[in-house]
Structure 1
Amino acid sequence: MVYQTIALNVAVNSYDHALLTLLVSNQFVEIKGSVFKKFEKDNLFQITCADIVERFTLCLMLIIVGFRNLIELSGSEFDFSSGFVLPRSFGWFRGNNVLSTISYPILSVMASETIVDWLKHAFITKFNHIRPSVYERYTDVLCRDLASASAVSRLGVRKHSYVDQSPLVARRLGFASLPLAVLAILIGTQSVTLLVALQVDSNPEWTSSILPNADWAHYVKWGALAVLFWLCFVVIKLIMGVNLVIYAIKRRAGMDAREAEDTANDFGRPPIGEGKEEQAYNRELKGLLNNKRDDATPIAEIGEGVRNQNGDGGGKGKGRVKLEDLTRFTMVKRIW
């Protein structure tokens, strides 16, 4: 993640079209790997979880890059309306202050990521005949995890309490918070050191406040300011957490009705936009692909099921994986 942040920082602050090249290459690979392929609802759920984590990680990296650019440009004496030399990613129309100048590449990257995700999901749902109401079911699953992960029922919903102690929503999304925390702490300490160095260079009188023999009032002032910043972030986190839990609890009221509707859309009615000829072709194609004569002889020593006289696997067939039991890195398709 440190290397990714460095690459993004170099692309944003490059004087050629490196950011545009990076965006085009990444978005082309993302669209190419998803469009015009067969996806089921469980696969789309895993893609949605991956997009959520990717967008959050990209947003954090862009905030880090913007904060570093803010530190670098805040001490400069440039006139932002005179059109001085800046990286091309900062846009052709620059504002009159630092914030509007450094926010242009951040907003452009996030806008391109959002548009590409919309196009990707639109193509997937269109060509796989998936109803848009399936995203309501995805939200219900995440809200159920968030509501179940509260302090009241946290112990009763964990399936592997001795192995996996991560929160339910993070485990469902495949989100690793510790690497991002280490990245934020690393870049944050470097940024604070750079900010202190800029203050010392611009204001020599301020140097006496950070020397060991300085007055303790300066240390108390900056320490209190750091504590206040930390308390503000803690309060914001608590407010966001409470609002998310309230939203999740409200959605649980109509969760059963949406699950029944999703079951009816899946088995009771034909997929949207799929005619009778296409349905007959899909059934014929599925029969050709699932021909037992093309399968090798199963070997029980390596865990493969022994077939019966009819050529089917022994025992009951494995049913479809429920969304409630599906995570981002769950193997949905059986290899044998």
Structure 2
Amino acid sequence: MYPFGHMLLSFIYTDSVERFHISAFILFVLAQNILEAEGPWFESFLINTLFVYVCEMIIDIIKHSFIAKFNDLKPIAYSEFLEDLCKQTLKMQTEGSKKNLTFVPLAPACVVIRVLTPVYAANLPSNPLPWRLFWILLFSAMTYVMLTSLKVLIGMGLQKHASWYVNLCRKRNHHLHAD
């Protein structure tokens, strides 16, 4: 492992969490646009969202280039870090792993709840209280099912990618040492 490996791994992890937070904030902006925007706004919203993600990626590329250059890290270090993260995802024991990286979803969950509350409130029918409670419970249940399904799908995708990448690394290491 490289001497600055854990620092670089921390930067990579922080970047992925930051992208998730940006996605939650973009969801907030989308909800606000649904509630308040008039006229054709969706195309400009998509262009601005793409612009935010592209700028974030450019900043990360520049940041990691400087870190790698001034700490004399080779590009293979990123592959090794990705392999370690994939092994953590698969709950495989890695040699020399001092800490497992975890994701605490409390802040993004609060943002999602904050975003969806006015959207649901704006779409509640003005029926008597029992019907309003029914719709609130229905919207809450739908949100819970959607978020749980999204979590399961992302988890399955991460597991599949992690197993694919670990197998690829094993084949690559096997071919390198086969002589």
Would you say same fold, with TM above 0.5?
A: yes
Q: Show structure 1 runs of 5+ residues with no match.
A: 1-38, 79-96, 150-156, 158-170, 198-208, 261-336
Alignment of 1:158-197 (within 5 A): 172-173=100-101, 175-193=103-121, 195-196=122-123
Distance (Å, rounded) in 1 between the aligned partners of 2:156 and 2:102? 22
* Residue correspondence of structure 1 range 302-313 to structure 2 within 5 A: none
State whether residues 27 and 115 of structure 2, in contact with CA within 8 Å, keep that contact through their aligned partners in structure 1. no
On the 8 A contact 2:15/2:60 being kept in 1, the answer is: yes
Could you tell me how far 1:221 is from its partner in structure 2?
6.8
Deviations 1:278-311 (CA, angstroms, capped at 9, x unpaired): xxxxxxxxxxxxxxxxxxxxxxxxxxxxxxxxxx
1:287 equivalent in structure 2: none
The Cα of 1:259 is off from its aligned counterpart by 8.1
Name the larger-Rg structure: 1
Q: Deviations over 1:53-99 (max 9, x none)?
A: 222212211221222122211xx3x4xxxxxxxxxxxxxxxxxx321
Query: What SS does the corresponding residue of 2:75 show, helix, strand or coil?
Result: coil
Alignment check: 8 A CA contact 1:50 1:174 kept: no
Q: Is the 8 A contact 2:87 2:166 kept in 1?
A: yes
Decide whether aligned partners of structure 1 residues 258 and 41 sit closer, same or farther in structure 2, where only a CA change above 3 A counts.
farther
Runs in 1 of length 4+ with deviation above 4 angstroms?
A: 218-226, 254-260
Aligned alpha-carbon RMSD (Å): 3.3
Matched, 1:44 2:8: yes
- Of 120, 142, 149, which residue of structure 2 is paired with 1:235? 149
Equivalences for 1:66-81 in 2 at 5 Å?
Answer: 66-73=30-37, 76=38, 78=39
Equivalent position to 2:52, from 99, 109, 121: 109
Task: Give 2:108's aligned amino acid.
Answer: L
- Cα deviation, residue 254, structure 1: 4.7
Alignment partner of 1:211 out of 116, 127, 130: 127
Percent of paired sites with the same residue = 23
CA offsets 1:113-147 (integer angstroms, 9 cap, x no match): 11111111122223433211111111111111111
In 1, are the aligned partners of 2:90 and 2:163 still within 8 Å (CA)?
yes
The 1:60–1:251 alpha-carbon spacing in structure 2 relative to 1, beyond 3 Å, is: same
Structure 2 residue aligned with 1:120: 63
Give the TM-score taking structure 2 as reference length. Answer: 0.73
Q: Matches of 1:71 and 1:250 in 2, distance apart? A: 42
Query: Partners in 1 of 2:14 and 2:84 — Cα distance?
Result: 15
Aligned match of 1:146: 89
In structure 2, C-alpha distance between the alignment counterparts of 1:191 and 1:229, rounded to whole Å: 12
Q: Work out the CA distance in 2 between the residues paired with 1:220 and 1:176.
A: 31
1:230-277 Cα deviation digits (max 9, x unpaired): 4344333323322221222233335467789xxxxxxxxxxxxxxxxx
Query: Is contact 1:50-1:173 (8 Å) kept?
Result: no
CA gap of 1:100–1:172, structure 2 versus 1, over 3 A, is farther
- 1:211 is paired with a residue whose SS is coil
- Counterpart amino acid of residue 196 in structure 1: N
C-alpha spacing 1:59/1:259, structure 2 compared with 1 (3 Å): farther
Cα distance in structure 2, aligned partners of 1:252 and 1:235 = 26
In 1, Cα distance between the equivalents of 2:41 and 2:139?
24
Give structure 2 stretches of 5+ with no counterpart.
94-98, 175-179
RCO higher in structure (CA 8 A, sep ≥6): 2
Structure 1 residues 204-225: Cα deviation after superposition (integer angstroms, max 9, x where no partner) = xxxxx433278x5x87677556
Contact 1:143-1:248 within 8 A present in 2 as well: yes
Aligned to 2:22: 58
Once the two structures are TM-superposed, the CA of residue 148 in structure 1 deviates from its matched residue by: 1.0
Cα distance in structure 2, aligned partners of 1:59 and 1:213 = 34
